Amino acid sequence: MMVEIITSKGRKTMKKTLRLTALALLAIASFTFHANAAEPTVFQPVSGGYSLALPSDRTEIYRTTKGIRYILGTQLINADVYSLPNFLAVPMKNYSVQQIADFEKFISDIEDFPGFTLEQSALDQETTEKKNLGSNKTDTTKLTPKLILNENYYAFTLKPPANSTITRDFITGRAYQLKNDKLVVVRVSAPIRDKIIAQQTLNTLTHNLKVSTSKYAEDNVIVAKQMNYEITLPSGWHAFTLQADNIIMAKSLSSVHHDEVLIRSFKTQEYSSFANATADDLPTESTSFVEKITKFTPNVTVTKQEPIVINGINGVIIESTDNVNLKQIFVVNAYFFAKDNSAYQIMFTTDDTINYDLKISAFKNAVKSFKKTNLK
């Protein structure tokens, strides 16, 4: 079996392809509980902030220190805790017009796919028109912009960009503010044909949602049970998925630069000699592998490669630079090959040309935290 190698140059193409690739869908199911149904479990992240009742028939993609993501029928459900920028760390009910605009931009920016916009903005000004009796003059009254708040949350619905081919093209959610600077966001994504089911799911989820005090979590861990791995990401990074269930991505929301990671699991027998290499043979195997995957990538310059063994799995960490649209990208690309033919790719990228050395070090530390959870 040939394995497709993803480089940073192919990342944009990969994202476009992923948006056209649907997850394996389960039968449509609404989030309702019956008297004879199994009681749902409750998810409470290490960071605190909320507890969420989970349906027993979910298919979990991953959970993190701050959140969880799973499939329910055609729907994708996600809950997470975000840190608001300083200029938004005041009670939402006191937001100025500019803060409302900035807050709504934040809501759009944390979505998986770029280009989604709010169906209704808190800044939309409704107008009422009234014609004076016996006159052709029309009086128009503009209402004052007001944040769409119901009790203690901000409700939103997002629509995709024009001509979108995204499978789940309807997103609805609610955002709950915690102690001003923290925000719990619960989102449900679904095909537009299932928007009513998605709204019902959100209503049930948030009806059972219990908001609490958030606390600082020392580690930012992703646990992907179905893909059998764990990894600790840099602080402040948030995970997401596109439309392939074997790929988890994450990005920094606190950096002005584009700092991202792609984590991919796949099956292959092509590199069994790499997976079974002894300590003496591993350097040769890793060098051969790196030469093979970079042979036809002239824009990629490998600056360092390091064979590595993590909890019994052979791998290699590759440091390189790439040029994407005339922009220099720094890359840490790691591959691991297990003896059961499972394989993993972890690719960190940054366009930070000033602090890249610090970020490369953080990326390598994250790679070395990788752990296969069903090691055989």
Which pLDDT band holds residue 142 (cuts at 50, 70, 90)?
very low
Distance in angstroms (rounded) separating the CA atoms of residues 199 and 348: 35
Distance of alpha carbon 160 from alpha carbon 151, whole angstroms = 28
Pair of tokens at residue 367: 């790679």
Domain with CATH 3.40.1000.10 in the chain: 11-16+244-372, 24-126+139-218
> What's the pLDDT band for 30 if we cut at 50, 70, 90?
very low
Distance CA 279, CA 307 (A): 9
What is the spatial distance between Cα 154 and Cα 173, in angstroms, rounded to a whole number?
Answer: 8
Which one-letter DSSP state was computed for residue 121? Answer: -
Mean pLDDT of 345-368: 94
Under the banding of pLDDT at 50, 70 and 90, the label for residue 179 is confident
Span 38-47, mean pLDDT? 82
- May I ask the CATH class of domain 11-16+244-372? alpha beta
* Local confidence band at 33 (pLDDT 50, 70, 90 cut-offs): very low
CATH of domain 24-126+139-218: 3.40.1000.10
Q: Confidence class of residue 40 from pLDDT cuts 50, 70 and 90?
A: low
First to last CA, the chain: 21
Interval 341-367 mean pLDDT: 94
- Residue 140 binned pLDDT confidence (cut-offs 50, 70, 90): very low
**Residue 219 CB neighbours (<10 A):** 11
Tell me how far apart the alpha carbons of residues 226 and 224 are, in angstroms, rounded to a whole number: 6
Taking a C-beta distance cutoff of 8 angstroms, is the pair 249, 263 a contact? yes
Q: What angle do CA 216, 221, 225 make, to 5 degrees?
A: 140
Q: pLDDT digits over 106-131, tens only?
A: 999 999 988 888 888 877 755 444 55
∠ CA 276-282-285, nearest 5°, is 90
Rounded distance, CA 185 to CA 49, Å? 11
